[in-house]
Amino acid sequence: MDGLVMTFGGGGLDRASGIRMDAPRMGALLTGGKAQILPMWRGKPLIADEGRNRLGLVPHGHPVLAEMRGAPVFLGFLPDSGAPVFAADMTGWEPTGVDAAATAAFFDPSEQHHPALPMDHRFAELRGVMARLTPVEAEIAATARGILTWHETHGHCARCGAGTEPEAAGWQRRCTACGAHHFPRTDPVVIMLITRGNEVLLGRSHGWPEGMYSCLAGFVEPGETIEAAVRREVEEETGVRVGAVRYLASQPWPFPASLMFGCAGEAETAEIRVDPNELESAQWVTREDMVAVMAGIHPGIRAPRQGAIAHYLLAMWLAGQTD
């Protein structure tokens, strides 16, 4: 069924983590003529081809890479051609006429065109194009966004505060003073399809696009299981008590560094008491209403974005595939 699409669900990229420490080999892969490099600008991948939205991969030495910050990060080998893929941070490039308000928004609709590239190439918000990328393109874009954002925010040692330098082809940083190793960070998040008979529990956060509702979600805390995090978050945010919980699927969500654990949980109580610090509102939605929401024809509720795991979990529920 068409609704059962989850972006970032894995594209078969061969990450070849065993060769990341081999600097001469990394250099040869980068300059050997087969390298495919994804330029990223402030978290936005380069997208080509207006009609189809494919990733804008460029060869080593392309003029657009002249303003690259640091060395490119090795992402792995493409599953079909075996070509090595890298990510390049173009954040230092200053395009003319940037809409500062748009680039700071929850969802940035603006796109930036680099003069060294054809007109159909532009840097675009990943959430807006993700559902149209192929699985391997989506994996490349998610990995590039996650790892480059980590470098951007981890220039100093969390232990002693001195500067850190990248190593292992961009997959580690080492402190220049105390020698501590730092590894890319992934934050576990639970996202849950909470049902009670024929109804599903949806909520919306402050500042979301008008009418948009989604599955409840929250960060897993240190020392906590996924199942306990599901029960705690739902009770904190809505007052609803949850019984049995089971895992369904996961999705990397590099906005900026989450790994979503999609779970199903059975509610034991129905009364909703929203915590206004956490949510703007929450409600039970019937299966019949949810069909209209997912079809985009419900008068009051907008569905979560296609490609996101919340959309996938809700589509699975409607298709009777979560039991």
Provide the minimum distance between the beta carbon of 177 and Zn ion in the complex, in angstroms, as a whole number: 5
Q: What tokens appear for 284 in the block?
A: 């039970």
Nearer to Zn ion, 158 or 295 (CB): 158
Provide the minimum distance between the beta carbon of 168 and Zn ion in the complex, in angstroms, as a whole number: 17
Q: What tokens appear for 252 in the block?
A: 């990397």
Instruction: Supply the DSSP string of 50-84, one letter for each residue.
Output: TTT-EE--B-TT-GGGGG-EEEEEEEEE-TTT--E
Interaction mask 145-164, Zn ion, x per CB under 5 A = ------------x-xx-x--
Q: Total binding residues for Zn ion by CB under 5 A? A: 8
Residues 234-293, interacting with Zn ion (CB under 5 A): none
Phi-psi region of 43 (alpha: psi -120 to 50; beta: other; left: phi over 0): left
Provide the minimum distance between the beta carbon of 147 and Zn ion in the complex, in angstroms, as a whole number: 20
Residues 79-98, interacting with Zn ion (CB under 5 A): none
φ, ψ of residue 302 in degrees (nearest 5): -105, 140
Bridge partners of 195, per DSSP, are: 200, 266
Nearer to Zn ion, 180 or 301 (CB): 180
Nearer to Zn ion, 165 or 221 (CB): 165
Provide the minimum distance between the beta carbon of 154 and Zn ion in the complex, in angstroms, as a whole number: 12
φ, ψ of residue 123 in degrees (nearest 5): -85, 125
Provide the minimum distance between the beta carbon of 268 and Zn ion in the complex, in angstroms, as a whole number: 48
Neighbours of 294 (CB within 10 A): 19
Nearer to Zn ion, 177 or 291 (CB): 177
Radius of gyration for the chain, computed over Cα atoms and rounded to the nearest angstrom: 21
Q: Which of 203, 210, 298, 312 is nearest to 261 (CA)?
A: 312
Nearer to Zn ion, 99 or 165 (CB): 165
Provide the minimum distance between the beta carbon of 174 and Zn ion in the complex, in angstroms, as a whole number: 9
Query: Which residue pairs, CB below 8 angstroms and at least 24 apart, start in 169-178?
Result: 169/20, 169/21, 169/23, 169/26, 169/73, 169/74, 170/20, 170/71, 170/72, 170/73, 170/74, 170/87, 171/17, 171/20, 171/73, 171/74, 171/147
Nearer to Zn ion, 165 or 187 (CB): 165
Interaction mask 101-140, Zn ion, x per CB under 5 A = ----------------------------------------
Provide the minimum distance between the beta carbon of 152 and Zn ion in the complex, in angstroms, as a whole number: 18
Nearer to Zn ion, 135 or 184 (CB): 184
Residues 153-212, interacting with Zn ion (CB under 5 A): 157, 159-160, 162, 175, 177-178, 180
Q: Which amino acid is at 135?
A: P
- The contact set with Zn ion (CB under 5 A) reads 157, 159-160, 162, 175, 177-178, 180
